[in-house]
Amino acid sequence: MKERRFVRELLESKQRILVLSFVVGIMFLFLIIRLWHLQILNAVDYNTMSENNRLRFVPVAASRGAIMDRKGKVLVSNRPSFSLAVVPQEVVDKEALLTLLSNLLGLDRAEMAERWEKNKNRAKYYPIVLASNITRDHVEIIEENRLRLPGIEIEMKPVREYSSKQLAAHLLGYIGEVSEKELNLKGFEEYNPGDYVGKNGIERALEMELHGGDGGRQLEVDARGRVLRTISETYPSVGNSVVLTIDADIQKQAERAFGEQAGAAVVMDVNNGEILAFVSNPGFDPSLFSGKLPADVWQGYLDDARHPLENKALSGQYPPGSTFKIITALSGFQNNISNETTSINCSGSYDLGTSTFKCWNKRGHGTTNLRKSLRESCDVFYYQLGEKLGVDKIAATAQAFKLGTPLGVELLNERSGLIPTTEWKMKRFGKRWYHGESLPVAIGQGAVLLTPIQLASMTATLANEGTIYRPHLVKRIVDTDGKTLKETKKDVIGMVSLSKESFRFVKQGLLAVVNESGGTGSMARLYDVKVAGKTGTSQVVKLRDSRKSTPYQYRDHALFVAFAPFENPEVAVAVVVEHGEHGGAAAAPIAGRILRAYFDEKKPPRKESTYSSGEIDEDEINDNNEGTISKESGKNEDSVNDR
């Protein structure tokens, strides 16, 4: 009985499968009838609708944030730029229109025709840009002739404006159309082809802050492409602004100090790592890069032996030459090999095995102690020290100063420099280190390479006696209302464990370099502030003596590092003059002018007062936050405290 019920049930369900199949068939038939209705009966209507789809989306680009210096001076902002666009579906006679445009405005007809041709496959309501960056005069002419120019539109969009022309061009960077490669990067998900992004410098490094969010308008247009109404709108959000640690006035003086010479300078606050000036000379005009760069200008940049497009302060790596003697001297203290009384006799050269190492002064320096060795930059003193230390101990001290690694400045592609060690040589060349190779390292030659940022950081660390601050360029991020969103705090990235005394002995030596007779850096001397510094002249290629006829690219680099005031250091400067030949003659005067600018800037009326810069910065932060500049009162208080 149960068996039979089961079989009956099974048979019944098999019948029901047929019913279900029938139902399925009916439902699919509905789908097909509906498709018939849409695709065959009403195809023509829908086709016209798709041809003049009346809804269009017009993206509205966000206005990019501004870039300001530490005192709120605007360095980069936006100005409106006009471009000439055509809406193809409104044009009656294309050829006549192009001719008329070129007659009226004097624009290249062939170029406009080419742009039109390139975009002909886009929807006909979509405006095609025929000429960008047209002048206000052009805009006026078009407005006057509106009736004769059906389909012509003027589009307005913000473009970058560099208020101080070429000032800090490398640092600020420029913007350009986003590339295919960039679109695939993390963080660029929201970007579309044709968007403008920072390509370089701060514009690139802080792209995510500066960019803002694009908005858009959903429009309903009539058959001629005229806007009937806005259906929905999302407003673009303006990008945040970046306040740099740079002081535009110091930056300007520093750039001016270089004149026509190629090179780099970094000016750093020794008590927090803020970079006050960041120079790479010669500069370029960043505004040229956001438009179409004229071919001759581009070629000019490429042909210039001084490489104007290269950011020398960021990615230039130079043999530090004698400025590195600071490290070697400190290494001597650190390893108890030398002290302030250590004295040698310099005869003008030093023999090790079969090799002879020459001092820059062929006649020799005679009896030389640490102070004199720094003051007169005696090489033999450091050859002997280097021989006793060996490369690895010198490298250990250099590494304690965080040399040989990128220091973490905000810009992309910071270089690491190079501090050679025996291990490095083995890895790199598969050869063991010869002891004689340590001697050039001791005077900053050989394989040693440092970036201008590292030179400045090294000097700052010496000046503040052991604290390494992360060098930084961004003071804070503010929104359009000026409200602070992020503030860069000073960041200690390392401490150099050396006795205060050893720092002081070396600093004494550096004071002598600038201020004592016989010192190599006297051209950096200021009459009112005690400057301490060290010259460096680093070989680009090994040369015989006759320097006069040396071609530009083989001449020595001139370096100078300095800090001031000696008693209570505030600021460190590193200057590299490419192929400037003598540190003392080419780089020291530039450093002097930069320091002059710094102290003039800090205290215009009272040149004698010395105070710690930490307090000033705090005052300035408060000033800027409140949007009022009550600098005078801040200064007075400080001065009172000092007395």
Partner 1 sequence: MIDRRLLTNIDWVLLGLVTTVCLLGILNIYSATTPYKVIGTAYYLKQFYWMLVGMMISLIVCSLDYHILEDLSYWFYGLLLFLLVGVLLFGRRSMGATRWLNLGLFNIQPSELMKLVIILTFARFFNNFQAVGGLTVRDVLIPLSLLVLPAALIMKQPDLGTATLVILIAFSMVMYVGLRWSTIVTFVCITIPMGWVGWTSLLRPYQKNRVLDFLNPERARLGSGYHIIQSKIAVGSGGITGKGFVKGTQSQLRFLPEQHTDFAFSVFAEEWGFIGCIILIGIYLSLILWGLNIARRCNDRFGGLLAVGVTAMLFWHIVINMGMVIGLFPVVGVPLPFFSYGGTSMITSMVGIGLLQNISMRRFMF
Residues lying near partner 1 in the complex (CB under 8 A) are found at 5-6, 8-10, 12-14, 16-18, 20-21, 24-25, 27-28, 30-32, 34-36, 38-40, 42-43, 45-47, 49-51, 53, 55, 122-123, 183-184, 189, 191-193, 218, 220, 231-232
Residue 368 three-state SS: strand
Cα–Cα distance for residue pair 588/536, rounded to 1 Å: 9
Closest by Cα among 255, 258, 250, 254 to 586: 258
Query: Nearest approach, Cβ of 11 to partner 1 (angstroms)?
Result: 11
- Residues 254/281, Cβ–Cβ less than 8 Å: no
Question: Three-state SS string across 202-216, please?
Answer: HHHHCHHHHHCECEE
Cα–Cα distance for residue pair 642/615, rounded to 1 Å: 11
Buried b (16+ CB within 10 A) or exposed e, 8-37: eeeeeeeeeeeeeeeeeeeeeeeeeeeeee
* Cα angle for residues 585, 586, 590 (degrees, 5° grid): 110
Toward partner 1, which CB reaches closer, 6 or 554?
A: 6
Toward partner 1, which CB reaches closer, 136 or 181?
A: 181
Toward partner 1, which CB reaches closer, 120 or 643?
A: 120
Query: Nearest approach, Cβ of 156 to partner 1 (angstroms)?
Result: 24
Query: Nearest approach, Cβ of 40 to partner 1 (angstroms)?
Result: 6
Phi, psi of 218 (to 5 degrees): -95, 115
Query: Nearest approach, Cβ of 633 to partner 1 (angstroms)?
Result: 52
**186 CB-contact burial (10 Å; exposed 0-12 / middle 13-18 / buried 19+):** exposed
* Cα dihedral 578→580→581→582 (10° resolution): -110
Query: Nearest approach, Cβ of 60 to partner 1 (angstroms)?
Result: 17
Helix residue ranges, H only, 212-347: 248-258, 287-290, 295-303, 312-315, 325-334
Toward partner 1, which CB reaches closer, 58 or 104?
A: 58
Work out whether the CA dihedral 31, 33, 36, 42 comes out positive or negative.
negative
Cα–Cα distance for residue pair 468/407, rounded to 1 Å: 10
Number of CB atoms found within 10 A of residue 90's CB: 18
Buried b (16+ CB within 10 A) or exposed e, 576-597: bbbbbebbbbbbbbbbbbbbbb
Query: Nearest approach, Cβ of 195 to partner 1 (angstroms)?
Result: 10
Query: Nearest approach, Cβ of 222 to partner 1 (angstroms)?
Result: 15
Query: Nearest approach, Cβ of 532 to partner 1 (angstroms)?
Result: 53
Toward partner 1, which CB reaches closer, 123 or 426?
A: 123
Toward partner 1, which CB reaches closer, 185 or 485?
A: 185
Toward partner 1, which CB reaches closer, 9 or 304?
A: 9
Work out whether the CA dihedral 458, 464, 466, 468 comes out positive or negative.
negative
Cα–Cα distance for residue pair 609/103, rounded to 1 Å: 66
Toward partner 1, which CB reaches closer, 10 or 541?
A: 10
Query: Nearest approach, Cβ of 176 to partner 1 (angstroms)?
Result: 18
Toward partner 1, which CB reaches closer, 18 or 541?
A: 18
Toward partner 1, which CB reaches closer, 27 or 92?
A: 27
Query: Nearest approach, Cβ of 542 to partner 1 (angstroms)?
Result: 50
Buried b (16+ CB within 10 A) or exposed e, 606-629: eeeebbebeebbebbbebbeeeee
